[in-house]
Chains A and B, each alone.
Chain A
Amino acid sequence: MPAETITPETFDHLVRLAALELDEAQAEYLRRELNRQLSAIHELEAIPLDDSVPITSHGVPYPPEICPPLREDAWQPFPDVAEILDQAPQVEEGYVVVPDIPHTTLE
């Protein structure tokens, strides 16, 4: 088994960045699977890639003739805004309500 790339410390850092909280069993499973996936990913490192190989961010090229033209930058109101707001967990007078936002007061 190759050495672990994602140590418990790195893992905890990632969990914080991802805005997650994990119990012990979940953390153990996820960290193990991350390391196993990274072992699979390491296969990429063996591929000879010279500098002429560009990045492909999507497979199909989008030449101008098949690119949709940009729309006019015009306001298109949604027919029923209430329907969107109804999906928010907490709303008051048209505002989405959230718990206290951590902040520091500037002097």
Chain B
Amino acid sequence: MELCDLSAHELSLLLRQRRVSAVEVLESCLQRISQVDGRPGSLEPGAPQPEDAERVHAFITLTAERARAQAETVDRRLAAGEPVGLLAGIPFTVKDIFCVKGTPSTAGSRILANFVAPYTATPVARLEAAGALMLGKVNLDEFTYGSSNESSAFRPTPRNPWKLDRVPGGSSGGSTASVAAGEAPLSLGTDTAGSIRQPAAFCGVVGVKPTYGRVSRYGLIAFGSSLDCPGPIARNVVDAALMLQVIAGPDPHDSTAANLPVPDYLAALEEGVRGLRIGLSPDYFRITFPDAVRGEYDQQPIPGEIEAAVRRAADILADLGAEIVENVPMPNTRYGIPAYFVISRVEAASNLHRYDGVKYGYRTPQPVQDLHEMYRKTRNEGFGLQPKLRILMGMYVSAAQYSAQYYQRALRVRTLIRRDFEQAFDPQGKYRLHALLTPTTPTTAFPVGAVYGDSVLMQYADQLTVPANHAGIPGISIPAGLDHEGLPIGIQFLGPDFSEALLLRIARAFERATEEASWRRARPEVLQRLVA
């Protein structure tokens, strides 16, 4: 066990007791990165190399010197007995969809590969102000469009530290891979349909999608502006709570950042679940997806071992005093993906019109006749297939003649999805839930190359996470066991608006109750190899 394998709160204690220095913590993380990460993602990776398949490849840009300067400042302050921030000396990675002043901020796309952000996103600025050390920018699906990290223009793309022939999930796959591999205890991700929770489940770490508006989006390169939520990724619930504490809150730079005080997420963390009502819904134990050949819908139960992990968690919470409420109807869950196919594409197309080769980013080097040809060539060369697909779909479903059929309808279906949650959480209603307990994903991590290219199947990886984005409510995914191949299984707690403190408390109760479980002793493949 190295320093880089300790949690943020353990490191924080050691730093404050001056038993280790921030520079030592940083060096330990840098050492781990050099051992397991391999070559960083690049636009010109050349031929695949045999060792590529043996490495994590979380990073696009390592900012070791920036982190070292921050670490030295923290060490000076600690030595002088000066006050330091909540995350002083704790390294973190940043999904490369956030602008950070002076760093390439690429969105995993050729069209922004040369963009050096002139300002810093609010959540990153808050982490640095709290003394955290920014280690670098990590890979993601291009513009966050994917659930596997395979669509990034920066290659090699990240792999799952638990089993290197599996995807880490996405789109915050570089973030969750970096945390699972011990490269950093914390990472900042974003969740538009499940992009924090799904890769957290695949990589066996904790991921929080806060309530929409709880964390500022200032400096986040936009995908679906009514859905995007920045949030923490960590190896345990306490660390996730610490990180959320730092990044949450109102922001004059983001008019959608809710003007609500941030509660103390740590204060009630250990208070347990006695008396809390936690629901299970049959609508989260099956998935509905279109059959590509017949064009009809198939319904399948989720794999037995994933359902079993959820039910085991419910039993544990019941033993701790929670009341488990079975058979909570969430009938509109199945419409989450079709509605998302419409809403997110309209918002994505709108947000992608700004990339035109004029003000920043890539411009075609080819000779052109006029401005319009420059636009077309720039966008064709700069965007990968997934952004192009989203632009075209967004324009189609929002076109005047189709808007009522598609876009307006999808926004009304969104109301139905929101109502499912309002009814489940209504304090005067039939179910009066404090939280809903569900699987995070319909499968564990799938093999690299198994799904990529099939844009419909890839999207259905988010079926159990996307309803929370439509509804705006918070969710947390935590590890809850391993499948027969030794791959992590994630479970998810969903709660009413701004109920993060309660969700963290429930997740923490489960975490404590399973501290001694045998599956918690399993280690990712990349870390086992280090020992061997």
Residues 252-268 of B, flagged 1 when their CB comes within 8 A of A and 0 if not, give: 10011111100000000
**Could you say which of B301-309, B371-379, B500-508 contacts chain A?**
B371-379
List of B residues within 8 angstroms of A49 by Cβ: 409, 412-413, 416
A40 adjacent to chain B (CB < 8 Å) = yes
Q: How many residues of B contact A (CB 8 A)?
A: 82
Contact code string A31-66 (vs B, CB < 8 Å = 1, else 0): 001101101111111010100011111111010011
A68: contacting residue among B250, B289, B334, B459, CB under 8 A: B250
Interfacial chain B residues near A58, Cβ < 8 Å: 212, 226, 256, 472
Can you name 19 A-B pairs with beta carbons within 8 Å? A19-B372, A20-B388, A39-B290, A43-B335, A44-B339, A44-B409, A53-B416, A54-B415, A55-B415, A56-B412, A62-B256, A65-B259, A66-B258, A67-B255, A68-B257, A68-B258, A71-B252, A87-B118, A87-B360
Given the interface pairs A40-B341, A67-B259, the reply to whether A34 lies near B393 with Cβ below 8 Å is: yes
Chain A facing B: main interface SS: loop
The docked-state distance in angstroms from the alpha carbon of A44 to that of B405 is 9
CB proximity to A under 8 Å, residues B444-503: 453, 455-456, 459, 469-473, 497
4 nearest A-B residue pairs (beta carbon): A59-B472, A60-B472, A87-B360, A89-B363
> How near does chain A come to B417, taking the closest CB pair, in angstroms?
8
With A66-B259, A98-B358 known to touch, is A47 a contact of B396 (CB < 8 Å)? no
Inter-chain contact B371/A98, CB cutoff 8 Å: yes
B290 touches which one: A43, A65, A96 (CB < 8 A)? A43
Instruction: Tell whether, in the assembled complex, residue B370 and residue A59 are in contact, meaning their CB atoms are under 8 Å apart.
Output: no
- A62 CA to B213 CA, complexed, in Å: 9
**List of A residues within 8 angstroms of B397 by Cβ:** 41
Q: Which residues of B contact A66 (CB under 8 A)?
A: 213, 258-260
**Interface digits, A80-107 against B, CB 8 Å rule (1 contact, 0 not)?**
1001101111100000101111100000
| Bound CA–CA A26/B381 (angstroms) | 12
Question: In the complex, are the beta carbons of A36 and B357 less than 8 A apart?
Answer: no
Are A96 and B358 interface neighbours, CB within 8 A? yes
Of A36, A59, A90, A102, which one neighbours B371 at CB under 8 angstroms? Answer: A102
A-side interface size class: 35 or more
B13 in contact (CB, < 8 A): no
CB A12 to nearest CB in B, in angstroms, measures 11
Residue of A nearest to B473 (CB): A59
CB-CB contacts of A1-45 with B at 8 A, as 1s and 0s?
110001000110011011111100010011001101101111111
> What separation, in Å, do the CA atoms of A87 and B357 have in the docked complex?
10
Q: Contact at A20–B290, with CB atoms within 8 Å?
A: no
A77 at the interface (CB under 8 A from B): no
Beyond A96-B358, A101-B371, whether A34 also contacts B385 by CB under 8 A is: no
| B293 neighbours in A (Cβ, 8 Å) | 1
**Is B3 positioned at the interface, with any CB of A under 8 Å from its CB?**
no
Within 8 A of A (CB), among B326-344: 334-335, 337-339, 341-342
B302 to chain A, nearest CB (A): 19
Nearest residue, chain A, Cβ from B474: A60
